[in-house]
Structure 1
Amino acid sequence: MHVAGLASALGVKVCALGMEAKFLRDFPLAEHAAELGKLRHCETHDIFQRLGVLTPQRVHLKNHPLANPLTVFNAALDHGSNGDMLVLYPRIIIGYFKYASAIAEVELPLEDLYTGSISISHYPAEIIVYPSTSVDIWGSEDPRVTRIDGTRHMVYVGRTINYFEAHIRRERTLPVLAVEAGRHRWVKVGYFVLPERLRPHVISDKDAFLVQASNGDLLLFHRPHMDDENFYLTISIVPHDEYKRALEEAERGEPVPIRVRGTRTILPVAPFEEKLGWASPPVMVERDTFLTLVHAVDVRLKRYRIFAMLVRYDRDVGPRPIAVTPRYIMEPRAMYEVYGDRPFTVFPCGAVRHGDRLIISYGAADSVVGFAEAGIDDIMAELDHLRLE
């Protein structure tokens, strides 16, 4: 069905992110964003098979006096040094007074996901990133891991020094970049910021990861929350000189600001949603065409649900969405997703490709790490319903 005809048939209303969103001049809608945003509807076809969960009682900290964290969730994921292993980077919490998070590293056999061992086995863990600077002193949260020139790069949410200052609604969280520098060793190199004139209007910036295009360009997927009370699902360009400067100054002290530019809004929220956020980092399905997941918080129950998107990039046009799934492809349904510290939550932070399958790691109700998989062909089939290129 033609896109315009499909919109009419579905009776979809105009997207909620409209004239009241004053920063659309600064974060203009990418090509296709408006069209695709109008065509999504509030239904779910859950195509992810649950593989099991990792609970905090089975994660054993090697470099902290406490044997186990109280909570593990919102975990990044990457392939290990060989094809038989995965490396998990869960967000952990050891106390609830300030809910200050750290990030651990856990190695686990890929086989454990398919034998059911992931739900019963015990794993050693090393804390690798923890609060230590002015941009993450109240917590290091929700990591996403990608590879830039073959080296693991982690972007996580830093709760800044402003986080608990009620009178300061500026940059309460920022995306912080850490780079792997050896076994269990990560160096915090910088934190991403918008242009100086916009920084006073940033309440928080979350759900971020760094992606490298085939021509070497660096793209920051992130979600600024501005003082117009809108959440913008955006992609920005990371200038190479800013990135290299941060790497060069990394060993000298605190992370340095990395100024992004060319920010585009990739998709507006639908009328039945409160906000959107980037979920797991993408896998490349074609040259400079990225398959990524997006989480959405619905207006009624505040539950998190997941849909997929194809994002294409070239330097002349910039990043743009070329397809979205018209319906959600995952929502909370298992008990450990429905009930926990944050009910009705599935929050993917990690994704790896394993043959023709996409394996994801996600926070389930902010209490455990869940694992699930879906066929890439199945996801692409859903995307074909709303594909413009």
Structure 2
Amino acid sequence: MYRPRYGLHFKRAQGFREAATARRFETEDIVRRLGVIAPHRIYLNNYPVSNPVAAFNPSLIVDNDEAIIYARIIVGYYMYVSAIVALRVPLEDLYSGSVNMNRYACQLAVYPSTRYDLWGTEDPRVYELDGKLYMTYTGRTVNYFDPRIHRERTVPVTAVRVGNYHVWRKVHVYVLPPELREHVVSDKDAFLVDFGGDLLLFHRPHMDDDSFYLTVSRVDLKKSRDGADGLKEVTVDDTVWVTDNAAFESRIGWATPPIRIGSNEIIALLHGVDNDLKAYRLYAMLLEYSKTEGIIVKAVTPTYIMEPKLPYEVFGDRPYTIFPCGLWRLEGDRFLISYGAGDYMIGLGEIDLDELLGLLDKGRIY
């Protein structure tokens, strides 16, 4: 049996194998679609181009009666360079259907400005830590288009909000230890989670054994060092390989920031890409973190919980793609979810926690 080179290097989470083998290539779609925002209905206020060519893979927060959406935009297809904009959408628009018709002004919030994101700022995840808002996004580095360099083409970069909703400051870049760093082709799908003072980075490195690893690493900000352009390089350690893709998938990755269930438990959402159609679908895992035992996969949804089905999810710049990056709790047990539809539009939906927990109970491991 073939084993990826770094699969022997990374520690494995408890429940590693069961989390992959317990899943079936089926979907029980529990995401209620609320609407979609097409790029021609988005207006850039602080950039000379009026409308983006594409707007997708959004994260979001909810502030009072508004959803503030942080979306990846493209203004030209030549090099497919991305920036991140912020737009404000009244919650009333989402639940009245007006979001499908209204036009929204946006502000350029995070854009290429360092060697770590020179060729694009992509796929933001926005979340709260210690009362502050953070955004971890994928930076396309200066190496991205260099055919001579096959390492660190993308890296996770974190920014902190320092002013109005669209004002952010880039602070950290995350890298693997030196013996592994030289073998990282790219690193994506990242966000931070705090477990009782232990800060963990959820990320998905692609290594030069041509394998993708769904991992969680420990972050010690005291061990950061000065990087380029005023950012700190943070070397992560104690990396754990959480689970592998199922037999019917080519790869998996982290989707949105997680749902907090307790002080040491979260529900993590993930995307999976199937072997045949290369479609993106969504599923979930219940994870527990212990200081002594590390990451434990306690349950997994036996089926996917969302798949492309509406025309704007099936047809776009990348067909059959839903790519959730944003999740925010509303009153009660309802969660707003924001996702890229067809790599072209902003999709918005809602998840009921009880439905999700019911599916997880069917895939209980521990």
Cα distance, 1:36 vs. partner? Answer: 2.2
Unaligned runs of 5+ residues in structure 2 are none
Aligned-partner Cα distance in 2 for 1:109–1:217: 35
Matched, 1:142 2:123: yes
Aligned-partner Cα distance in 2 for 1:108–1:316: 43
Q: Which residue pairs with 1:101 in the alignment?
A: 82
1:321 alignment partner, one of 276, 279, 297: 297
- How do 1:246-261 residues align onto structure 2 when only pairs under 5 Å count? 253-261=229-237
Deviation string, structure 1 residues 106-125 (Cα, Å, up to 9, x no partner): 11111211111111111111
- How do 1:123-134 residues align onto structure 2 when only pairs under 5 Å count? 123-134=104-115
- How do 1:278-297 residues align onto structure 2 when only pairs under 5 Å count? 278-297=254-273
Instruction: For 2:77, give the aligned amino acid.
Output: Y
Contact 2:123 2:325 in 1 (8 A): yes
Partner SS state of residue 179, structure 2? coil
1:216 alignment partner, one of 183, 197, 200: 197
- How do 1:85-234 residues align onto structure 2 when only pairs under 5 Å count? 85-183=66-164, 184-213=166-195, 215-234=196-215
Aligned-partner Cα distance in 2 for 1:45–1:94: 35
Aligned-partner Cα distance in 1 for 2:354–2:263: 17
Contact 2:205 2:213 in 1 (8 A): yes
Cα distance, 1:238 vs. partner? Answer: 0.6
Deviation string, structure 1 residues 42-78 (Cα, Å, up to 9, x no partner): 1111111111001111111110011111110000111
Instruction: For 1:117, give the aligned amino acid.
Output: S
Aligned-partner Cα distance in 1 for 2:319–2:58: 17
Matched, 1:39 2:19: no
Contact 2:200 2:218 in 1 (8 A): yes
Aligned-partner Cα distance in 1 for 2:229–2:210: 34
Partner SS state of residue 230, structure 1? coil
Instruction: For 1:280, give the aligned amino acid.
Output: T
Contact 1:26 1:263 in 2 (8 A): no
Aligned-partner Cα distance in 1 for 2:171–2:8: 30
Give the 4+ runs in structure 1 shifted more than 4 A.
none
CA RMSD of aligned residues (A): 1.4
Contact 1:52 1:118 in 2 (8 A): yes
Deviation string, structure 1 residues 76-101 (Cα, Å, up to 9, x no partner): 11121x2x122110001101111100
Q: Which residue pairs with 1:386 in the alignment?
A: 363
Partner SS state of residue 263, structure 1? strand
Seen in structure 2, the aligned counterparts of structure 1 residues 19 and 29 have a Cα distance that, compared at 3 Å, is farther
Deviation string, structure 1 residues 202-232 (Cα, Å, up to 9, x no partner): 000001111112x121111100000111100
Q: Which residue pairs with 1:9 in the alignment?
A: none
Deviation string, structure 1 residues 364-386 (Cα, Å, up to 9, x no partner): 00010001112110010000011
Instruction: For 1:95, give the aligned amino acid.
Output: G
Aligned-partner Cα distance in 2 for 1:193–1:35: 29
Aligned-partner Cα distance in 1 for 2:119–2:221: 29
Cα distance, 1:320 vs. partner? Answer: 2.2
Partner SS state of residue 313, structure 2? helix
Instruction: For 1:329, give the aligned amino acid.
Output: I
Aligned-partner Cα distance in 2 for 1:152–1:121: 27
Unaligned runs of 5+ residues in structure 1 are 1-17
2:32 alignment partner, one of 49, 53, 61: 49
Q: Which residue pairs with 2:45 in the alignment?
A: 62
> Number of matched residues?
364
Instruction: For 1:221, give the aligned amino acid.
Output: F
Partner SS state of residue 337, structure 1? helix
Aligned-partner Cα distance in 2 for 1:254–1:97: 29
Contact 1:71 1:93 in 2 (8 A): yes
Q: Which residue pairs with 1:270 in the alignment?
A: 246
Aligned-partner Cα distance in 1 for 2:343–2:200: 28
Contact 1:100 1:138 in 2 (8 A): yes
Aligned-partner Cα distance in 2 for 1:240–1:329: 35
Matched, 1:377 2:354: yes
Identity %, equivalent residues: 48
Cα distance, 1:19 vs. partner? Answer: 4.2
Partner SS state of residue 197, structure 2? coil
Aligned-partner Cα distance in 2 for 1:53–1:77: 14
